[in-house]
Structure 1
Amino acid sequence: MTHLDLAAPVEELAKALVDIPSVSGNEDRIADAVEAALAPLAHLEVTRLGNAIVARTHLGRAERVVIAGHLDTVPIKGNVPGSWDGDGFLVGRGSVDMKAGVAVQLSLAAALDAPTRDITWVFYDQEEVEADRNGLGRVARERPDLVEGDFAVLCEPTSGVIEGGCNGTMRAEVRIPGRAAHSARAWKGLNAIHRAAPLLTTLAAYAAETITVDGLDYREGVNAVRIAGGIAGNVIPDECVVTINYRFAPCWSLEEAQQRLEALVASAGLDGYHLVYTDLSGAARPGLDAPLAASFAASVAATGVEEPRAKQGWTDVARFGELGIPAVNYGPGDPELAHADDERCPVEDIRHCRAGLEAWLTS
């Protein structure tokens, strides 16, 4: 089993985590290491559900904060184990998304045996895949008591800036029928791929909005992300499937966002199509008006970083929102480098985020 030294400099702990392969669905090894590192700490109650680990203080404080991060990564592409470059970066898969953030969690979980608020540390699996496999969602369903709290911080990469709320996301398959025929007698068939053209034109012409919610600007996006059709080079395709991804602002409920997407697809004027949702994840409002969020924002602002901004991607703050827990994103690393082949996180970011969270949790 890999040994994690929680007393090591936080950037060294981050590299140790990067060095453990943990592609979604294969988090056993890293979960074992996290559990083994936390179990001896007398100030924490450690619970494991599958490959999710929850560690909680029970100090009788007036408030409880949940601080969460996921253990999995997208597939490796020659970038594990990690390495250092000469410009002060930790390089490797997961360095940004989000093992640097997990290192901050682990380092503080070990060091803070008497914080001013009770803390629940959550380390979970399968965030980078379909929503129904998400480890945080599983914990919330099976043991909701483990994630109760007054406020939550998700250590997703934000370059050390608080990012409020998140866009929602959904994927839908639009199945467009045709009629098969030999391509030498194409007039006998009905080409389903050709029939998809009005939908693709509609999507290409669509001007996505930027919507302000509680003072933060969320950029929407509607895109075709996959197209499939045909069974052979000499057969007129009898079906074409266009997969659409819609990223929507937190002013819309999931149901409202579905209605907006369905109206857009209908405006293409296709006949006989069938729309099927393959992924649905709601958005989360910024939550910065909650007292603990305001306290945290003030503490981070005191370090000289920029004002809070909107989280443009989807994150698990939405799950906390569904539980009625205000939540923000705050962690090391540039989110634009998440999943990149040259994924890299500034060491200074890791140290800064650790110091920012420690100052707030001990103030």
Structure 2
Amino acid sequence: MPSLDLSASSIELTRAICDIPSVSDDEQTLADAITEAVSGLAHLDVYRDGDTIVARTDTGKAQRVVIAGHIDTVPLNDNLPTRFIEVDGQPMLWGRGTVDMKAGVAVQLKLAAELVDPRVDITWMWYDHEEVAADLNGLTRLAKTRPDLFAGDFAILGEPSNADIEGGCNGNIRAIVRTAGVRAHSARAWIGENAIHKVAPILMRLSEYRPKTVAVDGLDYREGLNAVRIAGGIAGNVIPDACEVEVNYRFAPNKNADDAESHMRDVFAGFDLEVIDVSEGARPGLDAPLAQEFIAAVGGVPRPKYGWTDVARFSALGVPAVNYGPGDPHLAHHDNEQVPLSQIESVERGLRAWLSNP
């Protein structure tokens, strides 16, 4: 079994974690290595649920912070093992998971080992199945078996944010918009009704749609409404009697899921619409006292998170949460994933400065 040396630099630790493949549904080897690495640390109480590992300090501090990161990645495409490269004079670590989000996990593991007496009590969470369906997510499972572990005054997700603070996240809803026709032989098309042709008004509404930018608690969230899949037809000589357009709506966190669904139904009025997946967004939570202290310690100007992240889970529980991790989110899931070494070090410095006792 691979082992992790938590005394190594956060850069070397990132490389070691990335070089242990952990595509969703195959996280056990990395989860075993993390469990072995933290189980021997006397200042941490360690709990494991499947391939999710929780490590907690219990020093009796008045406040508790939850810091979490997922250990799975999207599938590989000849982008492991990792390697050090240089881009425009900047040292980088290249390979699957370097951005999303093992650099963040590496920083968390190093600090979990070294912060024996932090200024607040800390719950560290490293979880599985983030990159797949929400019902498989390790945090979904953990919330059912040990909801007490989510208790905290503030939460940080190590999602890639270019080493800046990104508050909250957009919500995400997917729906199928359907059309129906009448099947017929294509040589006698006039007998049937072409369901694919009937999606033209759906596509026109999408092409004419102008997404909004919505200010929420001082941050500007950009929305988006897009077709992401079209399916229809059964053979090259058959008029199709059914067609589906899958539509994805990213909505600002001033709306809830019901608001988002209502908006989609308004846009596609007159068509059959079925919601197939929905995730609530999260407001920034930057007005919480601990969030203000964190911003002051890390520096910079907080920005919005456009993609959905698990900060929404904490927000739903009343725990304000932000994203803070190394890596450019534009490179998440990209086959050319690469993270600046300087960002790994910057995030480590920022978290260490905030979490260490004065």
> Common fold, TM-score beyond 0.5?
yes
Q: Distance in 1 between matches of 2:193 and 2:136?
A: 38
Look up the match of 1:34.
34
Map of 1:219 onto structure 2: 222
The TM-score with structure 1 as length reference comes to 0.96
CA RMSD of superposed structures (Å)? 0.9
Shift of 1:195: 0.5
TM-score normalised according to structure 2 size = 0.97
User: Mapping of 1:250-269 within 5 angstroms?
Assistant: 250-266=253-269, 269=270
3-state DSSP class of the match of 1:79? Answer: coil
Q: Residue 359 of structure 1: CA displacement?
A: 0.5
Rounded to whole Å, the distance in 1 between the matches of 2:277 and 2:2 is 35
State how far apart, in whole Å, the 2-side matches of 1:65 and 1:307 are.
Answer: 21
2:306 paired with 1:312: yes
SS in 2 for 1:277: strand
Q: Match of 1:69, SS?
A: strand
Distance in 2 between the 1:187 and 1:45 partners?
A: 71
Tell me which residue corresponds to 2:57. 57
d(CA) in 2 for partners of 1:134 and 1:276? 23
Partner Cα distance (1:223, 1:177) in 2:
21
Aligned residue for 2:172, secondary structure, equals strand
Count how many residue pairs are aligned between Structure 1 and Structure 2: 354
- 8 Å CA contact 2:261, 2:275 repeated in 1: no
What letter matches 1:60 in structure 2?
G
How far off is 1:141 after superposition?
A: 2.0
CA contact (8 A) 2:222 2:306 kept: yes
Residues 335-356 of structure 1, C-alpha deviations (whole Å, 9 max, x = no match): 1111111100001100110110
User: In 2, are the aligned partners of 1:131 and 1:280 still within 8 Å (CA)?
Assistant: no
Given residue 155 of structure 2, which amino acid in structure 1 is its aligned partner? A
Deviations 1:234-273 (A, max 9, x none): 111111010000000001011111111111111xx44xx2
Aligned to 2:232: 229
Q: Name the structure 2 match of 1:324.
A: 318
Please say if residues 153 and 319 of structure 2, whose CA atoms lie closer than 8 Å, have aligned partners that are also in contact.
Answer: yes
Contact kept, 8 Å, 1:208 with 1:222, in 2: the verdict is: yes
> Does the Cα contact within 8 Å between 2:91 and 2:341 map onto a contact in 1?
yes
Letter in 1 for 2:253: P
Pairwise CA distance, 1:324: 0.8
Counterpart residue type for residue 299 of structure 1: A
Aligned residue runs from structure 1 range 1-363, under 5 A: 1-86=1-86, 87-266=90-269, 269-270=270-271, 273=272, 275-301=273-299, 306-362=300-356, 363=358
User: What is the distance in 1 between the residues matched to 2:134 and 2:166?
Assistant: 21
Give, in whole Å, the separation in 2 of the partners of 1:67 and 1:242. 38
Deviations 1:298-340 (A, max 9, x none): 1111xxxx30011111100000011110000001011111111
Equivalent pair of 1:61/1:117 in contact (CA under 8 Å): yes
Distance 1:22 1:170 in 2: 27
Gaps of 5+ in 2: none
Q: CA deviation at 1:278?
A: 1.8
CA contact (8 A) 2:160 2:325 kept: yes
DSSP-derived class of the 2:144 partner: helix
**Aligned equivalents of 2:16 and 2:72: distance in 1?**
14
Q: Which moved more, 1:225-234 or 1:84-93?
A: 84-93
- Preserved CA contact (<8 Å) 1:181 1:235: yes
Amino acid in the other structure paired with 1:215: G
Mapped contact 1:65–1:117 kept (Cα < 8 A) = yes
- Offset at 1:188? 1.1
Distance 1:122 1:220 in 2: 30
Secondary structure of 2:354 counterpart: helix
Distance in 1 between residues matched to 2:208 and 2:78, nearest whole Å:
38
Measured after TM superposition, the shift of residue 191 of structure 1 is: 0.7
Contact residue 98 and residue 339 of structure 2 kept, 8 A: yes
Q: CA deviation at 1:279?
A: 1.3
Q: Counterparts of 2:77 and 2:202 in 1: how far apart (Å)?
A: 34
| 8 Å CA contact 1:164, 1:288 repeated in 2 | yes
Following TM superposition, where does structure 1 have runs of at least 4 consecutive aligned residues deviating by more than 2 angstroms? none
Q: Deviations over 1:100-129 (max 9, x none)?
A: 000010000001111011000000011111
Percent of aligned positions with the same letter in both sequences?
59
CA distance in 2, matches of 1:90, 1:307: 26
Cα distance between partner residues in 2 of 1:175 and 1:74: 30
